[in-house]
A and B are shown apart, each in its own frame.
Chain A
Amino acid sequence: MRIAFVGQPNAGKSTIFNGLAGYKTITANFPGQTVHYTVSKVTVGDETFEIVDLPGIYSLTAIDKAELESRKYILSGQTDVVVNVIDASTLSRSLELTLQLTELQVPMVICLNMIDEARRKGMEINIEKLSKIFGVPVIETVANKGIGLDKIFISAKEAYYKRLIPNIQSFHKDIEERIEEIEKIIPEEFFSKIPKRYIAVKLLEGDEELTEEIKKYPEVLNKVREIREEIKSSHGRHADTVISSERHALTMNIFEEVTKIGEPLKSTREKIDDLLTNRYLGYPLLFLILFGIFFIVFEIGKLIEEPLISIFDSFIQKLPTIVKEDSLTFFILKGLLEGFSGGLGVAIPYLIPFFIGLTILEDIGYLPRMAFLMDTVMHRIGLHGKSVLPFIISYGCNVPGVMATRILESPRDRFITATLSVLIPCAARTTVIFGLVGAYIGGIAAAGLYIFNLFVIMILGAILTKFIPEITPGLIMEIPPLRIPTFKNVFMKTWLRLKDFILVAWPLLIISSIILSFLEYFKIDTIINLVFFPLVSWILGLPEQTGLTLLFGILRKELSMIMLFQAMDTTDLSKVMTNTQLIIFTIFTIFYIPCVGTIGALIRELGTKKTLIVSILTILLAIILSLIIRILLSIFG
């Protein structure tokens, strides 16, 4: 049995999915976290369920790319049961999607999630009544606390075996007649798996995709156009507005019938929320919160890194006493140890506190508030507040950052945001910044690099906007309530993100480190370094051995730093490189070509051609910036 979770953004579909399937997908407190769907198999008793977590959709008329994905899946007719997940505290709005889902005529379960939050708002929902209206099971859950999740499979089974198809709620008679008129003339073979009524309603609404498809049948298209015009002249409004008002009226009726509204609990949460988005205090708080997180990450990371590194160092130094120096075994062992310690000693101490910080920010729901605060600033670079979300996520990793651009409505915004996102120092580059500049020069210099990075992004954004002018209307975004993160979710999410590093990046670090040892042993490294000599030495003013390390950095950005220790044959870089060289190396690593993983994500989101443009642009940018800083440092440094 295949069960699809369908619901509006931030209704908690992924939280429910994780609760049922074990921790498989990343959740957060902002609309649009899930941008692609995840499938998982769960066996309960002797029955296997295939559950699908779809990106949130506000309606079955898709607005952004993530929504389009969901819609495609829902319309493909592969689902046996739809579980309509609703954030109970936004019931009045969520029911509009429910109404559209009923038109698909698939067995359904309505799941009122976050019922605790609705109660805090003073809402009492009569689930028996709601169940009677739609003719399907209605259950209550509090997914983040795991309450009520056991009822999902039971109800889904009931809906499936008893074929509990939801009742369609009728519009006014005149509209219903129009729908019927269209329904009758839709050819049998046109999306044969989807009920004709659904198609008819969507055509009346002027749905882009379906209208495009129906062009194959000009007589149907003409009839639809004619009816849309008739509705417009009889109602004085566009047909899509008329349908939407009809749906809105229906939902409000149902909402009023099943809900009693009492006094909301005025809580400290509202007061905190008020402060966080305050027009004066909001900005210093934003700065303090971000600065605080980086400061804590830096301090904790350093605390763990130093003892760990010294253990490995003493071990590497003892190596010549165990294996003969200059033998191939020695080189391989050295590469292995250096790669291993690079992952464990340098990356992980910074990654864990960073991921915890990011997760807490996400789960509290601070990111949409940042979008609200930053809207004006983002307009300066021709974007709007929502673009802040991919940016912040990019601080963790550029790959989900680039994927998060799907929450943006226009291709132009997606392109600019994705291009700027890949310049944001991800966790990997954070380890480089902290490991090189932070460790050898100081925390303030490291912080300075972040500010410099933001400055460059702003300027580049302003330039890009000049070339691709703004046409989007601006920010339209739901701001979810603040929530208290659960310990379990923070732990599981940090683990999920760390697992990705341990399973993918760390082995890559170790293998690359061994390859570098091989290259050194066979003296191939000097040839590669010779090729990069003009760039590395003349333009960047770096030691020639760094050429190879920068090449490795394309695989994973932190590789370039770990390789650097190996290439320079030291654990104390300050002895072989000047502060200027360390800064230039770090700046170049931050900006030049996105890592392989990010390039993959860019190709998926933007296509090969644009990815190529972005890659070349970033290399040029890295060279220009490094050169400017080098000149500035030589004058003022």
Chain B
Amino acid sequence: MKTLVNIDNGKKVKILKISGGRGIRQHLQCLGIHIGDIVTIKKSSFLGGPVLLEINGYDVALGKGVASRIEVEEVE
């Protein structure tokens, strides 16, 4: 299964599953990240660094720990 951590720059992905407790789920939902959403990877994780995503026109940074809990599939 692919997570946000192993997606290359510029790729579009669809979010399939978010694992983790209610805390993380709610926090991501607040920032407008939901299952089924399509996001673009602006900066992929580098040396364990965070991932930068674009979703509906704005940017969100996710640390590697969080990103690795979000399962995705590439679209297009």
Contact = CB atoms under 8 A, between A and B. Distances in A.
Interface of A: 58-59, 61, 63, 89-90, 92-93, 96, 121, 123, 206, 238, 240-241, 244-245, 248, 264, 277, 279, 368, 371-372, 375-376, 379, 384-385, 409, 473-481
A268 B66 CA distance: 31
Interface in B26-43: 26-32, 34-36, 43
B22 A476 contact: no
Contact of A376 (B31, B49, B56, B60): B49
Given A58-B30, A63-B27, A244-B26, A476 B48 contact: no
Q: By DSSP majority rule, is chain A's interface helix, strand, loop, or mixed? A: mixed
A59 B27 CA distance: 9
A114 to B, nearest CB: 11
11 contacts: A93-B31, A121-B57, A240-B26, A241-B35, A245-B35, A409-B23, A473-B24, A474-B63, A476-B27, A476-B31, A479-B61
Interface string B1-40: 0000000000000000000101111111111101110000
Nearest to A475: B63
B32 A375 contact: no
B74 to A, nearest CB: 21
Contacts of B60: 476-479
Given A58-B31, A245-B35, A474 B56 contact: no
Nearest to A477: B61
Given A375-B64, A479-B52, 6 more contacts: A92-B57, A96-B29, A96-B32, A279-B47, A368-B61, A476-B62
A279 B23 CA distance: 29
Contacts of A121: 57
A61 B58 contact: no
Most buried by A among B30, B34, B35: B30
B61 A375 contact: yes
Most buried by B among A89, A240, A372: A372
A11 to B, nearest CB: 12
Contacts of B35: 241, 245
Contact of B32 (A93, A238, A372): A93
A368 B25 CA distance: 22
Contacts of B64: 375, 474
A376 B48 contact: yes
A450 to B, nearest CB: 24
Contacts of B43: 277, 279, 372
A372 B52 contact: yes
Nearest to A123: B57
B48 A61 contact: no
Given A279-B49, A409-B27, A478 B59 contact: yes
B38 to A, nearest CB: 12
A46 B21 CA distance: 52
Contacts of B28: 476
Given A92-B32, A385-B50, A375 B63 contact: yes
Nearest to A122: B57
A92 B34 CA distance: 12
A245 B60 CA distance: 19
A43 B27 CA distance: 39
Contacts of A481: 58-59
B57 A240 contact: no
B71 to A, nearest CB: 15
B56 A375 contact: no
A473 B48 CA distance: 14
Nearest to B67: A474
A200 to B, nearest CB: 18
Contacts of A474: 50, 62-66
A277 B26 CA distance: 27
B66 A476 contact: yes
B56 to A, nearest CB: 4
Given A476-B27, A476-B28, A89 B57 contact: yes
Contacts of A379: 48, 63
Contacts of B48: 376, 379
B63 A90 contact: no
Contacts of A384: 63
Contact of A372 (B31, B50, B66): B50
A369 to B, nearest CB: 9
A386 to B, nearest CB: 9
Given A206-B22, A473-B24, A93 B52 contact: no
Contacts of A244: 25-26, 29, 34
A228 B37 CA distance: 24
A238 B60 CA distance: 24
A59 B25 CA distance: 13
Nearest to B55: A93
A375 B51 CA distance: 10
B17 to A, nearest CB: 10
B22 A376 contact: no
Most buried by B among A264, A476, A480: A476
Most buried by A among B20, B29, B50: B50
Contacts of B32: 90, 92-93, 96, 248
Contacts of A89: 57-58
B63 A473 contact: yes
Contact of B31 (A123, A371, A375, A478): A478
A85 to B, nearest CB: 16
A384 B65 CA distance: 10
A372 B27 CA distance: 18
Nearest to A273: B59
Nearest to A57: B30
Contacts of A409: 23, 27
Given A371-B61, A384-B63, A476-B62, A59 B50 contact: no
A240 B61 CA distance: 23
B72 to A, nearest CB: 16
B25 to A, nearest CB: 6
Complex A-B, nearest 6 residue pairs according to Cβ-Cβ distance, in ascending order: A474-B63, A93-B32, A475-B63, A58-B30, A474-B65, A479-B59
Contact of A90 (B20, B58, B61): B58
Most buried by B among A59, A240, A375, A384: A375
Contact of B20 (A61, A123, A375, A473): A473
A414 to B, nearest CB: 15
B56 A92 contact: yes
